[in-house]
Amino acid sequence: MPEELIDVIGNWIENFGATLGAIGETRLIAGEDDLAHILVILGNGNQSLGNVIQGLVEKEEVNAWLGNWLQAGGNAAISATEYEVFKGRLDETTGSYNKIYGDVTQSVGAFLAALGRLDDQPKRVIGNVIQSLGAALGAIGSLYVLNNEELKGQQLQAVGGWLQSIGTALQAIGATRRYLYGEGVDDESDTAEDEPDND
């Protein structure tokens, strides 16, 4: 299987996970819900898997490679933390601190990946930046939870989750276009340059 296709698969797995996580975070606003916790656990786990797949094949650009592995670690930490909190083996305060570390790591990783794709992957750069902002919002939301403003914190986490879903969708679309049409065509402006001048 071509590495470019493996990269596409990794991107869509990451997007699937981000969307599951966003749904879970949104459900948590309405109150504690077993399904919500499970969606967050599975969502971040799938995001981590998608990042690992991308990290294994995207080795040419150091920033993108490192960014993917940082995101994988951050998502795995959040998934594991959510599982331990859900099972009652970890208190909410420690869990919130762990989520902050995970989200910050993920945010830094997404930003590094954006830097690594500046030259030829504009759609993925935009997606990575949106994802980075979403993860940062998630960390801020956990800070609010630590300060006993749980509702506001959960709302910020949900907004951050949906930003990550949007960002990873853009990345996946960019990776798919790149696989189908070649280098540098994940943005519509690239194809416009190839159209003949009829004047």
Given this model, what pLDDT does residue 190 score? 44
Q: Token match 């853009």: residue?
A: 170
Given this model, what pLDDT does residue 114 score? 92
DSSP assigned state of 197: P
Given this model, what pLDDT does residue 184 score? 54
Given this model, what pLDDT does residue 183 score? 60
Question: Residue 141's CB: how many other CB atoms inside 10 A?
Answer: 27
Q: Which residues contact 111 (CB under 8 A, 6 or more apart)?
A: 67, 128, 129, 132
Burial string for 71-108 (b: 16+ CB within 10 Å, else e) reads bbbbbbbbbbbbbbbbeeebeeeebbebbbbbbbbbbb
Three-class DSSP category at 75: helix
Cα–Cα distances (Å) from 60 to 5, 55, 56, 57, 178, in that order, read 16, 10, 11, 9, 15
Which tokens is 178 given? Answer: 């790149």
Q: What is the pLDDT of residues 49-92, one digit of tens each?
A: 999 999 999 887 899 899 999 999 999 999 999 999 999 999 98
Mean pLDDT by 10 residues, the chain (199 residues): 91 97 93 90 97 90 92 96 93 93 96 88 90 97 94 95 97 92 56 45
What pTM, to 2 d.p., does this model score?
Answer: 0.87
